[in-house]
Structure 1
Amino acid sequence: MAYTEEIRNAAKGLYLKRWLPREIAQELNLASVRVVYQWVEKYSWDALLSDEQLEDAIARRVQLLLGREKKNQTELDELDRLIGQHVRLKKELLQLREKEVGLKEREAAIAAGVPADDLPAARTGKRGGGQSKGGKGKKGKQRKNDIGELLPEDFTGWLGTLFGYQLRCREAKDDPSVPRTRNILKSRQVGMTYYFAGEALEDAVVTGGNQIFLSATRAQAEVFRAYIINIAREFLQVELSGNPIILSNGAELHFLSTNSNSAQSRSGNVYIDEYFWIPGFTKLSNVASAMATQTRWRKTYFSTPSAKSHPGYGFWTGDTWKEGKDSRKDIEFPTLDDYRDGGRVCPDRQWRYAITVEDAVASGCNLIDVEELRDEYADEVFRNLFMCEFVDDAASVFKFNQLEGCGVDTDIWTDFKPREARPFGNREVWLGYDPSRTRDNATLVVLAPPEVTDEPFRVLEKHHWRGLNFQHHVAEIAKLFKRYRVTYIGVDITGIGAGVFDLIKTKYPREAHAIHYSVESKNRLVLKMIDVVEAGRISWDQEQKDIPLAFMAIKRTTTGSGNAMTFKAGRDATTGHADAFFAISHAVINEPLDHSNKRSSTWAIQA
């Protein structure tokens, strides 16, 4: 079977993101997985995966697996292997750099006429790293989690894998003039989970202190644990196990999600991950402070930003500290630029540090192409995800605190089994399709409508297709019709949507419904979503952080005549991030505005 160049390029893109060939074949509806292997060999795709690209691809694959609902055992095992491969790659890159440095030192010495006996020894790039102390050589019976013979210098190899901004966090930890609370605002994908996992392990080994990790989800907490196990294995030649991990010196490492009932009973150094995305942050912060009450314990908060309305925002800016005390109201805090310039000690006894993607690259991170990210993401989304800017939802129709409650742990959806051939059995689903206005991109969602009173709408799947023509979009939609009992699909017929709708209408004439955009129809879509969100009648996977960003892109405005209120959202090449909102609304609108459940919405549109 012949495939178009578009399909082959799509397969190439997925392969370079570390998708498995069988997953690529399934995603692109290929006749056989063998064609993927043929393309890999024929076009030398493996050669495109340099070590640096491979590390980025592994990180992308880890994020892909973390975002999957109800991970099966195979995927959990793969996640653990990927983290192990990531740590091994870090070690191999370090050894390669050391070998190159050694060769340069010898060449320089020879050029300077240094006698052969006095030349620096050639570096092999291999490290002992504790091997003579019961590592891979001969040894007697080893105790469980035995770290008794490890010394601080055994962490030298791991330290060699860190970039400048990670080492800056370490310097702050060891600086007696820096407060014991560190607050770090960061870009995505700059390796802070890897760093703090190693930092905590080092502290537990050297000082015997307990380490506690609080994460927004159980999956993220397990990522910390996997990194610690693999750092110990690769750099220290020590095997760790257990949950919690209890070292032979008595140090305990606990990995908890924020809804863990046992969190309050622990004490030690506390690490709070992605805290700007955690519901009930104020309560969590109080729990974290209680666990680190003694002055010997540190508290470390680190996260990518969310919205200014999140309770954590005042914690970051210092406004929470100023509340209730007139003497503090006029105290100024450093600026974001100050935080980016090596961090600052603030009046509330916190050390704040900001790491944008540009800062990370300037500080040695050679795994990221900033310009590629700028092209890939809408301007506002890029600034939020990578430049440490908070979303200002003051003018947004939807507030972050409302949307925060819509994100759930999808493990509670016991009737949804995403890895099965029929993920939702014979229950009906609705689809919503939203095309880009200027390019051949589109977003599609699979929505489970409520069957009984008080049951919410549920976003079961979300797909974003980029760089493929509408024929491919139709093929992907047809696959969803095979997996689900689809009774409705709402399609915006603007631009590429018209071509998609024509084909969908031919295949599924009863289910396909065209959505013609006008001021009235757009208002109806937004009003319906206001009604649903304010009533708490919709939920999605809490890992899908782009969904609340899409909702917050919806703003209030007036019509061209200025006589009535309406809504707007940038939906062009630079602000297409509202597409997820419109895709969801195109499915939800299948429920009438005046359905039987009562609402308490305070919104209205002037006639």
Structure 2
Amino acid sequence: MTLAAQNEPEEQGGGARAPAIVAARTKARSLYWRGWTVSQIAEELDLPYTTVSSWKTRHKWDDAPAIQRAEEGTLERYLQLMAKEAKTGGDFKEIDLLGRQFERLARVARYTDGGNEADLNPDRAKGAKAANAKKEKAKNLITPDMVEQLRVDMRGSLYGHQSVWLNTTSLRTRMILKSRQIGATWYFARERLLVALETGKNQIFISASRAQANIFRAYIVQWVQKVCKITLKGDPIAIQRQDADGNPDEPVELYFLGTNYRTAQGYHGDVIIDECFWIYGFEELFKVASAMATQKQYTRTLFSTPSTLAHEAYPMWTGERVNRRRARADRIKLDVTHDALKQGALGADGIWRQIVTVFDAVAGGFDLVDVEELQREYALDEFDNLFRCIFLDDSQSMFPFQIMRRCMVDSWDVWRDYQPYALRPYEGEVWLGYDPNASETGTGDDAALVAVAAPTKPGGKFRVLEKQRLKGKDFQGQADAVKEMAAKYNVTRIGIDTTGAGKAVHQLVSKWFPLAEAITYSVQTKTAMVLKAKNVISTGRLEFDAGWLDVMQAFMAIRPEITKGGTQVTYVASRAGGVGHADLVWAVMHALFFEPLDVTEPVGGGSTVEIS
């Protein structure tokens, strides 16, 4: 039977002959699009004229877009050549030509489907990409006029102690021991940006954690936005500079590093080390930092509040570090007392040192703190450490620096499953610990609230994900803060000290979290909590961000003390009023205490509660 004898119903109904009809129709359409008439196609394929004419009308061959006609013709020729057993050199050239034609037709299809001119012209796409890259770089363009604006703005906003620092920017090595909260990070972010813009030297900011290093970045971005009305972008920040004539000058880069400084040994530039007396592994860090600043044109700036006499950076401060490598007769002598270093002094080891207490800052015009209020709020030893730059002797501490430093991690790099800025920062099980304000009116000491990621397996690690200090809140406000934090996490346990206002806070929290545990303090309870925490920390099972110096200080302040009766040992941390307390420490311990002393035993009792 010829194709002419086949009827349309069989084709439409999907009968046995349908594939042959479809093939004939496709061949006929291809010939038509190549310029053949209906009569010629019918004769060539041995088909009735009416069949070919019907196909042409029904399937709208004349209305087909040119791109479809070209694609079909190209494909047909391509398949024909590919099917040849023995291909000539001309065949291969034509196959290559047809392949490029497929690419062109695909670009045309994208363009007609809502694309742009770059789809038609790859070179234009490359040019557009280069233009976008140039435009992106221009976002970080700082002109000489902008540099002058920044310089004027900075000089007009300095306090006395910061002006002293500004006059020492060219010194090779500076080491500054400073009071808490006197604007050091703020100042050095600005100082180093100006140095970078004026000299073209890269600036490398190193902190105990990446989150802490980002404070430098935030200060720089905010300052440039305020003064120059542009937003610096990128990490690192690559700044485009201009010379006095407006011509492009050498660009400069600002790096912000936490513990990942170990992978950045190829960098070079001025190095700034924040809170050097709190960084774990200072000796290794300083070796890497010195390598980055090997060339004599580069400077090294270290500044910090004091930590402990046992810290690795303390010998560098006293000069003992350089004396280790010297014969006794060649050893240097340094006076590192406040009287000797109040105005700053260049030591025999080439290091310029200065001590800036809160009293020194206030004497230089610093009016952002009330010293008398600070003295009322902090115990004498705490005030001396935080504001008078006196190093701690943690030899009597239950949690000395040497064991606590293992807890300090760069959460930015290590905790891959924690996203602090997400609505749901962490998906795993979380325990809350709350140490309340002792006063029912909220006028007493600070309260502390922490979210601790529970171990994912017996003997696993605890991680302090979040901490809050609450002050000035009554028991309702404190309960609301607990509820707000609980809503962010998969909370299964909450532990609350029920002393003072804590009892009311616990009652309010229990309304929406019935399993909230009331912790009644006693000598036995505090001892058990301290010993549990000691075990967890000693075995390397507690982690928190290395930038959280307040957590470190709070743990280091815990020490044993004989009770008034002289028959028992309790654990305290000095504070104003003479009562032992360290809110952040106890809050963390409340969470740790949910785990039995035998870590192989199940915790039990916890369940997720939906917080509305």
What range is the shorter-chain TM-score in?
0.5 to 0.7
**C-alpha separation in 2, matches of 1:553 and 1:575:** 13
**Aligned equivalent of 1:542, options 525, 534, 546:** 546
Residue pair 1:187, 1:387 contacting (<8 A) in 2 also? yes
Residue pair 2:283, 2:313 contacting (<8 A) in 1 also? yes
Q: 1:168 to 1:339 in 2, by over 3 A?
A: farther
Q: 1:377 to 1:571 in 2, by over 3 A?
A: closer
**Aligned equivalent of 1:523, options 517, 523, 527:** 527
Q: By how many angstroms is 1:288 displaced?
A: 1.6
Give the alignment's TM-score, normalised by structure 2: 0.65
1:283 aligns to what?
Answer: 284
Q: 1:521 to 1:300 in 2, by over 3 A?
A: same
What amino acid maps onto 2:584 in structure 1? Answer: A
2:118 aligns to what?
Answer: none
1:51 aligns to what?
Answer: none
Q: Deviations over 1:308-351 (max 9, x none)?
A: 22211222222222335452797542233235521112232211
Counterpart of 1:551 in 2: which secondary structure? Answer: helix
1:38 aligns to what?
Answer: none
Q: By how many angstroms is 1:526 displaced?
A: 0.8
Q: Confirm or deny that 1:588 pairs with 2:592.
A: yes
Q: 1:268 to 1:491 in 2, by over 3 A?
A: closer
2:253 aligns to what?
Answer: 253
Q: 1:575 to 1:305 in 2, by over 3 A?
A: farther
Q: 1:334 to 1:515 in 2, by over 3 A?
A: same
1:382 aligns to what?
Answer: 383
2:436 aligns to what?
Answer: 435
Q: By how many angstroms is 1:271 displaced?
A: 1.7
1:296 aligns to what?
Answer: 297
- 1:490-529 equivalent positions in 2, closer than 5 A: 490-505=495-510, 508-509=513-514, 511-529=515-533
Counterpart of 1:468 in 2: which secondary structure? Answer: coil
Q: Confirm or deny that 1:191 pairs with 2:183.
A: yes
2:314 aligns to what?
Answer: 313
Q: 1:575 to 1:171 in 2, by over 3 A?
A: farther
Counterpart of 1:489 in 2: which secondary structure? Answer: strand
What amino acid maps onto 2:160 in structure 1? Answer: G
**Aligned equivalent of 1:448, options 449, 453, 462:** 453
**C-alpha separation in 1, matches of 2:351 and 2:147:** 30
Counterpart of 2:277 in 1: which secondary structure? Answer: helix
Counterpart of 1:499 in 2: which secondary structure? Answer: helix
- 1:393-472 equivalent positions in 2, closer than 5 A: 393-411=394-412, 412-420=414-422, 422-425=424-427, 427-437=428-438, 439=444, 441-453=446-458, 455-472=460-477
1:532 aligns to what?
Answer: 536
**Aligned equivalent of 2:478, options 449, 469, 473:** 473
Q: Deviations over 1:326-378 (max 9, x none)?
A: 52797542233235521112232211012222212211223333333334445
What amino acid maps onto 1:386 in structure 2? Answer: F
**C-alpha separation in 2, matches of 1:557 and 1:346:** 41
Counterpart of 1:256 in 2: which secondary structure? Answer: strand
Q: By how many angstroms is 1:525 displaced?
A: 1.0
Residue pair 2:382, 2:575 contacting (<8 A) in 1 also? no
Residue pair 2:436, 2:501 contacting (<8 A) in 1 also? yes
**C-alpha separation in 2, matches of 1:472 and 1:142:** 48
The 10-residue stretch of structure 1 (343-352 or 198-207) with the greater mean CA deviation from structure 2? 198-207
**C-alpha separation in 2, matches of 1:403 and 1:570:** 19
Residue pair 1:224, 1:255 contacting (<8 A) in 2 also? no
Counterpart of 2:355 in 1: which secondary structure? Answer: strand
Q: By how many angstroms is 1:530 displaced?
A: 0.6
Q: By how many angstroms is 1:148 displaced?
A: 6.4
Aligned residues: 451
Structure 1: segments with no counterpart, 5+ residues = 1-140, 598-607
1:216 aligns to what?
Answer: 208
1:161 aligns to what?
Answer: 157
Counterpart of 2:141 in 1: which secondary structure? Answer: coil
Residue pair 2:379, 2:576 contacting (<8 A) in 1 also? no
Q: 1:143 to 1:520 in 2, by over 3 A?
A: closer
Q: Deviations over 1:214-243 (max 9, x none)?
A: 233334444434544565666678986653
Residue pair 1:493, 1:515 contacting (<8 A) in 2 also? yes
Structure 2: segments with no counterpart, 5+ residues = 1-136, 242-247, 602-612
What amino acid maps onto 1:477 in structure 2? Answer: V
Q: 1:205 to 1:589 in 2, by over 3 A?
A: closer
Residue pair 2:401, 2:556 contacting (<8 A) in 1 also? yes
Q: By how many angstroms is 1:296 displaced?
A: 2.8
Q: By how many angstroms is 1:388 displaced?
A: 1.9
Residue pair 2:458, 2:599 contacting (<8 A) in 1 also? no
Q: Cα RMSD (Å) of the superposition?
A: 3.4
What amino acid maps onto 1:303 in structure 2? Answer: S
Q: 1:342 to 1:586 in 2, by over 3 A?
A: same
- 1:59-98 equivalent positions in 2, closer than 5 A: none
Q: 1:241 to 1:570 in 2, by over 3 A?
A: closer
Residue pair 1:409, 1:541 contacting (<8 A) in 2 also? yes
**C-alpha separation in 1, matches of 2:197 and 2:495:** 57
Larger radius of gyration: 2
1:172 aligns to what?
Answer: 168
Residue pair 2:150, 2:194 contacting (<8 A) in 1 also? no
Residue pair 1:322, 1:328 contacting (<8 A) in 2 also? no
What amino acid maps onto 1:413 in structure 2? Answer: W
What amino acid maps onto 2:523 in structure 1? Answer: V
Q: 1:347 to 1:539 in 2, by over 3 A?
A: same
What amino acid maps onto 1:444 in structure 2? Answer: L
Q: Deviations over 1:266-315 (max 9, x none)?
A: 23322222222222111111112222223332211112222222211222
Q: By how many angstroms is 1:380 displaced?
A: 3.7
Q: Confirm or deny that 1:204 pairs with 2:196.
A: yes
**C-alpha separation in 1, matches of 2:508 and 2:463:** 27
**C-alpha separation in 1, matches of 2:222 and 2:588:** 40
**C-alpha separation in 1, matches of 2:148 and 2:426:** 53
Q: 1:199 to 1:469 in 2, by over 3 A?
A: closer
Counterpart of 2:302 in 1: which secondary structure? Answer: strand
Residue pair 1:380, 1:575 contacting (<8 A) in 2 also? no
Q: Deviations over 1:244-278 (max 9, x none)?
A: 42534325333131413553212332222222222
Q: Confirm or deny that 1:568 pairs with 2:561.
A: no
Residue pair 2:149, 2:228 contacting (<8 A) in 1 also? no
**C-alpha separation in 2, matches of 1:203 and 1:351:** 18
Q: Deviations over 1:485-504 (max 9, x none)?
A: 44333332322223333444
Q: By how many angstroms is 1:470 displaced?
A: 1.9
Residue pair 1:440, 1:470 contacting (<8 A) in 2 also? no
Q: By how many angstroms is 1:170 displaced?
A: 2.5
Counterpart of 2:468 in 1: which secondary structure? Answer: strand
Q: By how many angstroms is 1:524 displaced?
A: 1.0
**C-alpha separation in 1, matches of 2:417 and 2:458:** 17
Q: 1:254 to 1:416 in 2, by over 3 A?
A: closer
Counterpart of 1:305 in 2: which secondary structure? Answer: coil
Counterpart of 1:277 in 2: which secondary structure? Answer: coil
Q: By how many angstroms is 1:183 displaced?
A: 0.6
Counterpart of 1:405 in 2: which secondary structure? Answer: helix
**C-alpha separation in 2, matches of 1:239 and 1:487:** 42
